[in-house]
Each structure stands twice: as structure tokens, then as C-alpha cells.
């Protein structure tokens, strides 16, 4: 029987409103490394028993609801208080990922609109280096948002 997955350390960065891409990169690396992507990508729970024989002998699937909740607890421990309030009531890692993705996608669209507007309104009455620096800041912000 396989051993249950454990998360030995939380993500070093607490998720907040401004660092989703970096946080997501760290979280996905951990989840992928532990071969747990199916819990991020599927809304279904694993079966309590893997086979009929396992059910007859009450050999519970090592990735049952208890283990799914360990993943949820690990995700929650990597979030700031502000972010935790956005996912109250979500009890699966799939639902947490989905909610975070929707939340940050809408934020990204708003940021991209703002950055495009800043680029359009960049004044050319500056020195060349100041003008280029302002454009570069907007481009960098755009790349972080997309």
C-alpha cells in the first residue's frame, strides 16, 4: 500500500493580492513533485476503496478524504489572512484553485487595462532615458500581470 503524501514545509511565500504568480509557481512545483496534480485538476473525490477486495477487507484508499483535507490545510497555511477570507467555505483543493484562478484572472484583466492606459498616456516631454524608463516600468508591470 502506498504511503500517504506529506507536505514537509509550507510555501515560503504567503499568498496575498500581489504575488499570485510567484506563489502559484511554488505551489504547483510542490504539488507536481508529490504527484498530486489530479487533486488540483479534478473536482471528484478519490474512491474510499480502490478495489472490491479492498472494500471487503476495509482497506481504505490512502488518498481518501482525510488526505485531501491535508492538501487543503497545506494550501490554507500558505495564504495571508486577507486571502483566507476569499475562500471561506471551500473544502477541496480543486475548489480553492478554481476560486483563486478566477479571482486573479479578473484582477489581471483590470491591471492590464490600467497599464495599457498608462502606456497610452505616457508623456513625451521627458528626457529620453526618463521616457524609456517609464515605458519599461509599464511593460514590466504588464508582463507580471499576464
Task: Report yes or no on whether pTM surpasses 0.85.
Answer: no
**Band of pLDDT at residue 64, cut at 50, 70 and 90:** low
Residue 5 lies in a domain: no
Classify residue 104: in a domain, yes or no. yes
The answer as to whether 99 is a domain residue is yes
- Evaluate whether residue 92 is within a structural domain: yes
Whether residue 6 has pLDDT greater than 70: no
Q: 135 or 84: whose pLDDT is higher?
A: 84
Q: Is the pLDDT of residue 42 over 90?
A: no
Whether 25 is covered by a domain: the verdict is yes
Domain residue limits at 27: 20-108
Whether residue 8 lies inside any domain: the answer is: no
How big is the CA angle at 24 (ends 111 and 96), to the nearest 5 degrees?
95
Domain total in the chain: 1
Band (pLDDT 50/70/90 cuts) for residue 7 is: low
At 93-117, the pLDDT tens digits run: 888 988 998 888 877 777 778 877 8
Quick check: is 134 in a domain? no
Dihedral in degrees, nearest 10, Cα atoms 143, 17, 115, 103: 90
Is residue 80 domain-resident?
A: yes
Amino acid at each position: 500500500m502506498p504511503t500517504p503524501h506529506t507536505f514537509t514545509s509550507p510555501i515560503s511565500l504567503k499568498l496575498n493580492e500581489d504575488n499570485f504568480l510567484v506563489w502559484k509557481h511554488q505551489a504547483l512545483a510542490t504539488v507536481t513533485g508529490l504527484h498530486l496534480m489530479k487533486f488540483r485538476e479534478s473536482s471528484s473525490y478519490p474512491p474510499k476503496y480502490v478495489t472490491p477486495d479492498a472494500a471487503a477487507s476495509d482497506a481504505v484508499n490512502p488518498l481518501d478524504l482525510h488526505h485531501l483535507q491535508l492538501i487543503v490545510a497545506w494550501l490554507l497555511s500558505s495564504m495571508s489572512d486577507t486571502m483566507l477570507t476569499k475562500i471561506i467555505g471551500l473544502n477541496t483543493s480543486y475548489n480553492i484553485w478554481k476560486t483563486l484562478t478566477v479571482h486573479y484572472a479578473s484582477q489581471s484583466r483590470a491591471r492590464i487595462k490600467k497599464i495599457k492606459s498608462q502606456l497610452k498616456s505616457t508623456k513625451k516631454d521627458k528626457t529620453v532615458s526618463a521616457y524609456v524608463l517609464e515605458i519599461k516600468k509599464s511593460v514590466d508591470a504588464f508582463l507580471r500581470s499576464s
